[in-house]
Chains A and B, each alone.
Chain A
């Protein structure tokens, strides 16, 4: 227990901040994923074959390649890509991007591929009549999406999105290879300096279990809220 004390003697506060970091990366990645899903879901549902192809390419490649490989691509290729863009604008200094941004981007792109599939499935399972009824009533495209399709879609999507959240949360442990101090990295540091890896990695497992447990509780409440009337 002394190992978990707060302050200078133990690792309690470090692990606490690391847990907050894990949550922050997961939430950021999930939101980045939503942005990607917002771009790629319409592409996948589009009438045009070429747009479908782009959407399918994204989801197939990302879901077929290990997360770790994607993270390495971003970790080693991220600053190179930014520097290349900067060099076009005439800036030639070395640019280093923050591990938080690289990590969230990498996990976000992965999470986005899963979210895209979830949204596509949810929209496709909404009755065609709903779209037609909205059209007949003269509801604008914008209101149709936000007031009619989205609420129905969310009800169907939330259970699957909760799976995506779980995957995203667990994937953040992989960013530890880039040196971002989240639960896994902090446990690695603590295990190294106290020579007690069994304790610290088991504690990390408990922290992850706690996070998945609490988020499940929260999501169940959301689910109940969005399925009112069913």
Chain B
């Protein structure tokens, strides 16, 4: 055990954790909106819209995240037309490519979580709203969405943790996130176990925080008060 290495690499890894957290929070933020949008599309009665939303979630949940990042980072740059548009400013940066891939990925999982939450809302609640003369729009925004979000908290907590682990793939497109820096230190010092303990410890700590945060939110917004 090389404790010196563990001490010296800790600040470097902690600095890289900021990159990981940035990637995670930005993609979760956009992913939540995307997920909500596609969950609503899934509930649409129009078969074409429905199938489109299903196809989106099927493709992004059925392929590895690594493929998605590579298609966006290496693949899209190949299209000549894209290079001439303003999109190229975004797509040439590995940071934004990673964010786009993560957002699309977490959006697909989130849409499934929210869809099943919408479907488990008891019809009686919606009927009660209707009988009180509340308009459909307000029922949707003020009753269905809050209930669905509460219902999906436990599953969404898992998704946050999965996504946190997913951000480690950013290191494959040259970003120096926690895993990227850990790999760099391992490959220069050849002390994999020490670095793994420190980097893994930081990841576990973040998992612990997220887990407890979700538990707290579940308790705070529980139906039995």
In Å, the complex CA distance between A173 and B62 comes to 12
The answer to whether B190 and A176 touch across the interface, beta carbons within 8 angstroms, is no
Docked pose: A174 CA to B169 CA in angstroms: 9
Q: Are B70 and A64 in contact (CB under 8 A)?
A: no
Are B59 and A205 neighbours in the complex by a CB distance under 8 Å? yes
Docked Cα-Cα span, A61 to B208, in Å, equals 11
| CB neighbours of A173 from chain B (8 A) | 64, 66-67
Chain B contact residues: over half helix, strand or loop, or mixed?
helix
Total interface residues in chain A, CB < 8 Å: 36
What residue of chain B has the Cβ atom nearest to residue A197's Cβ? B74
Interface residues on B, range: 35 or more
Chain B residues, Cβ within 8 Å of A170: 63-65
Whether B27 sits at the interface, judged by CB under 8 Å, is: no
CB neighbors of B among A71-114 (8 A) = 72-73, 76-77, 80
Q: Within residues 183 to 201 of chain A, which ones have a CB less than 8 A from any CB in chain B?
A: 184, 187-188, 191, 195-198, 201
Query: How far does the alpha carbon of A196 sit from the alpha carbon of B179 in the complex, in Å?
Result: 28
Q: A64-B204, A69-B168, A73-B192 are in contact. Are A201 and B62 (CB under 8 A)?
A: no
Say yes or no: A65 contacts B71, CB within 8 Å: no
Q: In chain A, what residue has the closest Cβ to B207?
A: A64
From DSSP, what is the main secondary structure of chain A's interface residues?
helix
A73 & B63 in contact (Cβ 8 Å cutoff): no
Asked if B214 is at the interface of the complex by the 8 Å CB criterion, the answer is: no
- Asked if A208 is an interface residue, CB under 8 A from chain B, the answer is yes
B187 within 8 Å of A (CB atoms):
yes
Q: Does A209 contact B (CB under 8 A)?
A: yes
- B161–A68 touching, CB < 8 Å: no
Q: Is B75 an interface residue (CB 8 A)?
A: yes
By the criterion CB–CB under 8 Å, are B63 and A208 in contact? yes
Q: Would A202 and B192 be within 8 Å (CB), given that A61-B200, A69-B200, A72-B182 are in contact?
A: no
Question: A60-B204, A64-B204, A65-B204 known; A72 and B71 CB under 8 Å?
Answer: no
A77-B183 Cα distance, complex, nearest whole Å: 12
Residue A138 at the B interface, CB < 8 A?
A: no
A177 at the interface (CB under 8 A from B): yes
Task: Give complex CA distance A198, B208 in Å.
Answer: 38
Partner of A76, one of B66, B186, B199, B208: B186
- B59 to A209, Cβ gap below 8 A? yes
- Say which residue of A60, A77, A191, A205 sits within 8 Å of B68 (CB atoms): A205
- Contact across chains for A198 and B196 when beta carbons are under 8 A apart: no
Q: Are A208 and B207 in contact (CB under 8 A)?
A: no
Which chain A residue has the least Cβ–Cβ distance from B205?
A: A64
Residues in B neighbouring A56, C-beta threshold 8 A: none
Give bound CA distance, A73 to B168, whole Å. 14
**Across-interface contacts of B196 in A (CB, < 8 A):** 69, 72-73, 77
Q: With an 8 A cutoff between CB atoms, is A144 at the interface?
A: no
Docked-complex contact A208 and B75, CB < 8 angstroms: no
A-B contact pairs, 6 of them (CB 8 A): A66-B168, A76-B187, A166-B62, A184-B70, A187-B70, A201-B67
Identify the A interface with B (CB < 8 A).
Answer: 60-61, 64-69, 72-73, 76-77, 80, 166, 170-171, 173-174, 176-177, 184, 187-188, 191, 195-198, 201-202, 204-205, 208-209, 212-213
Given contacts A66-B165, A66-B179, A69-B168, 15 further A-B contacts (CB under 8 A): A64-B161, A68-B168, A68-B179, A69-B199, A69-B200, A73-B192, A76-B187, A173-B64, A173-B67, A187-B70, A195-B78, A198-B76, A198-B78, A202-B71, A209-B62
